[in-house]
Amino acid sequence: MHRLMSELFPICRSITGEGVRATLSHLQRHIPLEVREVESGTQVFDWTVPKEWNIQDAYIKNNKGDRIVDFKKSNLHVVSYSQPIHAKMTLNELKPHLFSLPDNPSWIPYRTSYYKESWGFCLTHQQLMELSDEEYEVCIDSTFENGHLTFAEYYLEGDIQQEILVSCHICHPSLCNDNLSGIALATFLAKTISLQPNRYSYRFLFIPGTIGSITWLALHENHVAKIKNGLVVTGVGDPGAVTYKKSRQGDSEIDRAFMHILKSSGKDHSTIDFFPYGYDERQYCSPGFNLPVGSFMRTPHGKYEEYHTSGDNLDFVQPQYLEESYNFCLQGLTLLDKNNTYLSQNSKCEPQLGKRGLYKAMGGDADGAKREMAMLWVLNLSDGHHSLLDIAERSCIPFEVVHEAAEVLRNHELLKEVNG
Ligand code: ZN
């Protein structure tokens, strides 16, 4: 995942344009993404798909002709969606268009100007302080044209038509935790899930933030009833503890699944309630859709210093954190996939487990005792109304153990899947 991030890092992405296309075509080396394009000007609910923005070059030259701010050194130097400009101006004329971070003087901020016409440069505060009162040549070689908004989907058909949605944003330039970490995790999750049999169908979305999810929802309004669970993944590679943000519903299956695996892990974590800010969960959880879509992250956006700065780089995001995040996400989705409801085939009093060899570990190891306890819980609550997650929550036994017990009982024909 970290290597994939380092390959995607140099690309100048925005909400539209060649950077997004280059990113998606790189991802196609890993998974068979279907790339889709929606024309500029398309009305999507209250929004309009914007003109396509592309940039070739940008710089500020001093009066000696040196590029003192150079887009070729970092694509963060240009405010994303800047209008083209080529002019000479004084420092005073230039200053309102310059952005820096006085508190972190060696970092370049990340700024955008998507929905208003303007232009600007981001630079380190050290660079800003060094500017003298002279004439500067300012150039942003960008284009705004009627073009397309680009996004991609990877659909994996499971046993049932109901879907699990996994969504990540692909619209930030050289920023790692914010965008690339989610892209890398979603890509590898898709790879793994494609290699195993699945009950649910899966849809992986790689979309520009906000306008991408709004566009996708506008195009698939009649389809969303199939989404039974969803997860927005972003900010999954920083050193902070993992965070799960609940869906607007607050008690949907995916909310309960992630709360259960995080709690069972014994690791440091937090769960937070839905709030209408953040990433694309804002759109999936808007009241007209109210989809059961939660978000998985580590430190929430804006709560780490490196957020939206050049400090959010390949050193800030580390493989071990990506791996831990990936494992949690895979575990959570696997739980959903295995969360069946069963009916005990022997509901009048307990079945005699001993004669079936299922009381093997009596008086033995603690794990054996735990497995037996799980079997008793599964047999008792499998009345057709309790899922395995219900049973895991009520018994305080990890889902994996409950599921394993159910498999053993099913193999002994003591349980039957409901609607299965
Ligand atoms: Zn961001």
Gap from CA of 129 to ligand 1 centroid (Å): 26
Residues with Cβ < 8 Å from 222, sequence gap 6 or more? none
| Beta strands in 255-380, from DSSP E residues, in sequence order | 269-272, 293-297, 341-344
Mean pLDDT of 176-193: 98
Q: Hey, what are 40's tokens?
A: 């500029």
251-266 pLDDT per residue, tens: 999 999 999 999 999 9
Q: Which two tokens stand for residue 114?
A: 């998507």
**CA dist., res. 382 & res. 286, Å (int):** 35
Query: 391 CA to middle of ligand 1, Å?
Result: 39
Report the chain's C-alpha Rg in angstroms.
26
Residue 366: what pLDDT?
Answer: 75
Cβ contacts of residue 400 below 8 Å, gap of 6+? none
Separation CA 118–CA 120 (nearest Å) = 7
Ligand 1 centroid, distance to 308 Cα (angstroms): 6
> pLDDT grade, residue 185 (50/70/90)?
very high
Name the token pair of 235.
């900010």
Cβ proximity of 30 and 66 under 8 Å: no
Residue 314 neighbours by CB under 8 Å, 6+ apart: 2, 5, 6, 9, 176
Instruction: Report the separation in Å between the CA atom of 358 and the middle of ligand 1, taken as the mean of its atom positions.
Output: 53
| Section 223-241 average pLDDT | 98
> What pLDDT sits at residue 412?
96
Say whether pLDDT at 173 is over 70.
yes
Q: What average pLDDT does this structure show over 380-397?
A: 97
DSSP string, 230-266: EEEE---SSSSPEEEEPPTTSSSHHHHHHHHHHHHHT
CA of 178 to the centre of ligand 1 (A): 5
Q: Hey, what amino acid is at 59?
A: Y
pLDDT in tens, 67-115: 999 999 999 999 999 999 999 999 999 999 999 999 999 999 999 998 8
User: Residue 110: its pLDDT value, please?
Assistant: 98
What does DSSP say about strands 269-272 and 293-297: parallel, antiparallel, or unpaired?
unpaired
Ordered domains of the chain (ranges, CATH): 2-50+148-338 (3.40.630.10), 53-145 (3.50.30.90), 341-417 (1.10.10.10)
Given a cut of 90, whether residue 361 has pLDDT beyond it is: no
Residue 174 CA to ligand 1 center (angstroms) comes to 11
CB 273 within 8 A of CB 250: yes
pLDDT, tens only, 14-28: 999 999 999 999 999
For residue 244, pLDDT over 90 is answered with yes
User: Which pLDDT value is given to residue 419?
Assistant: 73
Q: What is the pLDDT of residue 364?
A: 60
Under the banding of pLDDT at 50, 70 and 90, the label for residue 416 is very high
Q: Determine the distance separating the centroid of ligand 1 and the alpha carbon of 172, expressed in angstroms.
A: 7
pLDDT of residue 155: 98
How far apart are the C-alpha atoms of 328 and 334, rounded to whole Å?
A: 10
DSSP structural state of residue 78: B
Residues of the chain above pLDDT 70, percent: 99
> What is the 298 CA–ligand 1 centroid distance (Å)?
14
378 CB-near residues (< 8 Å, 6+ apart): 342, 388, 391, 402, 405, 406, 409, 415
**pLDDT band, residue 57 (cuts 50/70/90):** very high
pLDDT of residue 163: 98
Give the SS3 label for residue 12.
coil
Task: Please state, rounded to an integer, the average pLDDT across all residues of the chain.
Answer: 96
Q: What H or E segment, with its residue span, contains residue 37?
A: strand 34-39
Report percent pLDDT > 90 for the chain: 95
Q: What is the reported pLDDT for 368?
A: 81
Position 363 scores a pLDDT of: 54
Distance, in Å, from the CA atom of 56 to the CA atom of 70, rounded to the nearest integer, reads 12
How far is the C-alpha of 265 from the C-alpha of 269, rounded, in Å? Answer: 9
